[in-house]
Amino acid sequence: MSASFRLGLAVWGYRGWLGGFLPEGSRQADFLKRYGERLAAVECNSVFYAIPNEKALARWVEETPAEFRFCPKLPRFITHEGPMAPMIPEALDYAVYMREHLGEKLGPFFLQLPPTFRPDHGRDLAALLNAWRRADAGPMAVEVRAPAWFREPAASRLDTLLSRLGMSRVVLDVRTAYEGPDDPQETNPIRKPNLPLYPATTGDFAFVRYISHPDGERNDRYLTEWAERVHGWLDAGINTWFFVHCPIEDHSPDNLRRFHQLLVARGAPVPPLPWDGIDERPVQIGLF
């Protein structure tokens, strides 16, 4: 069985995409539907701040194609407001709730830890992840942000834990933001942490968050490297989720498209990009 590949963005609605990625004149209420016509997955960062109600989740399912997948982040009240072990019941309830309402459109869950969560908090993380695995709550990707997690022995200990549980370590690539002469995050109030690239795969799927540069050409070296790595993962049977971000969100879709073109050019076994098959007819703007 061949490995699957899904490519997406961090959000599905951004007004700066109108007239480009999204058709000119699209209503905000239609952003998800238009996004789903173009891409097959999305990070659900918004659920970090508030859990959608049942009506909202039903609309998500209704407005997206059968093959579309949502990757919900665990809410911040579980991961960012104190020890996680006491929040295990709430975390498992959240998993059941999202699984019940998203059904087959549910992709991997995404647990992001704050920079203050260091390896000496490892037992707390292990308690949550072991409980999650025992409950068979769903695929999980874990992102650590404290620099100590990228040094030995903590790096290997985390890899061992995730491998044993069949979970994946999120690969966060921030090189374009820190290796060049400029700072593309300068005007963005939310900065990604300066962390080393750690492209380990610990579960049966890879989960990548690539922070792209607003200048498309500045991404080519990194995206070419990623195309080679992703091609290897897919050939090895590793299902891969790849999400493109940008400090200036206007540029994320074009950077994503460039990555897909590089994958196709090198013969990687990836599906066609739905966005490329759309006849970009203008949207008629009504009075109401």
On whether the CB atoms of residues 234 and 5 are closer than 8 A, the answer is yes
User: From the CB of residue 57, how many other CB atoms can be counted at a distance below 10 Å?
Assistant: 22
pLDDT reading at 109 higher than 70: yes
The whole-angstrom separation of Cα 255 and Cα 217 is 9
SS3 35: helix
Instruction: Give the tens place of pLDDT for each residue, 170-224.
Output: 999 999 999 888 888 888 778 899 999 999 999 899 999 999 999 999 999 999 9
SS3 221: helix
Only one residue has tokens 């990070």, namely: 43
The full set of domains in the chain, from first to last, is: 5-272 (3.20.20.410)
% residues pLDDT > 70 (the chain): 96
Whole-Å CA distances, 8 to 35, 183, 216, 255: 10, 24, 17, 11
- Mean pLDDT (whole number) for 130-139: 98
Predicted structure pTM score: 0.94
On whether the CB atoms of residues 259 and 224 are closer than 8 A, the answer is no
Q: Which residue has the higher pLDDT, 286 or 146?
A: 146
pLDDT of residue 284: 40
Which residue intervals of 135-251 are DSSP H helices? 154-165, 175-178, 220-235
Only one residue has tokens 């991961």, namely: 79
SS3 66: coil
The whole-angstrom separation of Cα 198 and Cα 246 is 19
